[in-house]
Amino acid sequence: MNKMGLFSLRLCTGTLVRWAGLYPYSIRACTGMTKLQIDEEVAKLLELKAQLGGDDGKHAFVLKTAKGTRDYNPKQMAIREKVFNTIISCFKRHGAETIDTPVFELKETLTGKYGEDSKLIYDLKDQGGELLSLRYDLTVPFARYLAMNKITNIKRYHIAKVYRRDNPAMTRGRYREFYQCDFDIAGQYDPMIPDAECLKIVHEILSELELGDFRIKVNDRRILDGMFAVCGVPDDKFRTICSTVDKLDKVPWEDVKNEMVNEKGLAPEAADQIGEYVSMQGGMDLAEKLLQDLKLSQSKQACAGLTDMKQLFSYLQLFRVTDKVVFDLSLARGLDYYTGVIYEAVLTQSSPTPAPPAQQNGAVGEEGVSVGSVAGGGRYDGLVGMFDPKGRKVPCVGVSIGIERVFSIMEQKAEASAERVRTTETQVMVASAQKNLLEERLKLTAELWDAEIKAEVMYKKNPKLLSQLQHCEDTGIPLVAILGEQELKDGVVKLRTVATREEVDVSRAELVEEIKKRTL
């Protein structure tokens, strides 16, 4: 590119970036792009501008987040905090305690646990003789923690960031750095009781967050393996074929069959038999039907899984969640460490209706179109034993909430709603109606802080009362404690309700109690 061309491109890039910064709403109106999409395009322009360099030939420093990551403003953080509180409250309601593990692990700890997804693990450079990798999920570190500390029974939750060297699609909630919210039960218990509780937890969280209609799909790895065996899949292809079946919620059956046959070498007749099974959906009735299936009943593995599936649905009936749970033979979940029941929660655009047995692709009926997975998990009885020197197994079952997808939906709902999102929890603003009352305002603010009242004061000696009241309206602060010379003489504070503009004199001694009463 000649000098004139470079100059034109720099000029165009700089103009576009400035225009995007000044007029984001105009761009959104003209193009229909979301703010996140605009930010991503601007980031690409900035990166291109940096590569071209400044007019003096020096490399320009680019202010941007790394690919697949993002910053969160106070409004977004307020939404995230609300979601986290809802999830943590549910976990605690079910008796869980919490742990934490390092953000990176020895590379050998993570290697070989995720099947084909292992290529997405972030490796770090050699650090002091140790080969390290950023954690890919919270489940493998949990299993390592159990084996290392010889723990055989625990019910725990863990909320932390994980990392995946994925091709990010941030507009759909896919990042390289993101939070996971995990709940797991480790220990030897009677079949399906902990598994049913995990599904109950997913039901509670999705219902409380009011994300819209959802469906929880369940299956069992033993049923899948038995199905593969009776359909003629070679033993050494079980996991790779399982990974392909796992794509059925994203691509049509013909594409899945094509991958199994043409890319992974499966016989076409075996793929066709698999296609007949993975189109089936139902509940306890489907488990009973499959136990009578001439081919599937030949597999001891499949029969064990189907028997447990019947037991699972009987517990789910007691937990009153069967209206949202479906036994779906197309659900595979590609991670290698699952050994039994697996499940995935999917949001639907409208109220889901039972799908006919012949339906494919993991869809949920014409009136309930799948719009994305928001939770998943299952049973992994062999993972802890992989870390134990003596191979001692600790049965485990757990669920992970897809928190970033949840955040994206909550942010979109907040943006579409006229309701203001509060970014602080301030209960009262300490204000003055006259000059030279800074010391009195600071004294009252300190009294409120000592009484555990969330209070603010303006950092000016003589702020205008109108400015102080406007700040309360802008930020959603519900109360204003107004001081004046007369109030100080009378030993009272004028307490103003911002929403109604009603004012009442409250004695200084009763102010804390009155504020607490009004802000419960």
Domain count, the chain: 4
CB 375 within 8 A of CB 218: no
Do the domain assignments include residue 370? no
Answer for the pair 152, 186: CB distance below 8 angstroms, yes or no.
yes
What are the strands of the beta sheet with 492-497, ordered from one edge? Answer: 455-457, 428-432, 479-483, 492-497, 503-507
pLDDT at 55 over 70: no
Residues 76 and 206 reside in one and the same domain: yes
Is there a single domain that holds both residue 95 and residue 198?
yes
How far is it, in rounded angstroms, from Cα 410 to Cα 210? 9
pLDDT in tens, 223-243: 998 999 999 888 888 888 888
pLDDT for 216: 96
**Segments forming the whole domain that contains residue 34:** 3-52
Residue 58 lies in a domain: no
Is residue 176 in a domain? yes
CATH assignment at residue 145: 3.30.930.10
The reply, when asked if residue 184 is annotated as ligand binding, is yes
> For residue 458, is pLDDT > 70?
yes
Q: CA 155, CA 153: separation in Å to the nearest integer?
A: 7
Annotated binding residue 213 = no
Q: Please tell me whether 145 is known to bind a ligand.
A: no
Residue 338 annotated in ligand binding: yes
Distance CA 142, CA 100 (A): 9
Q: Is 175 annotated as a binding residue?
A: no
- What mean pLDDT is reported for the chain? 85
Q: Is the pLDDT of residue 17 over 60?
A: no
User: pLDDT of 353-386, one tens digit each?
Assistant: 333 333 333 333 333 444 578 999 999 999 999 9
Paired with 155 in beta bridges are 185
Position 425 scores a pLDDT of: 94
Confidence bin at 414 (pLDDT 50/70/90): confident
Which percentage of the chain shows pLDDT scores above 90?
54
Domain stop point among 421, 452, 475: 421
Please indicate if the annotation marks 353 as binding a ligand: no
Q: Is 120 annotated for ligand binding? A: no
Q: Tell me if 179 is assigned to a ligand binding site.
A: no
Tell me whether residue 392 is annotated as binding: no
Are 398 and 460 in a shared domain? no
DSSP E strand boundaries for 132-187? 132-134, 154-163, 177-186
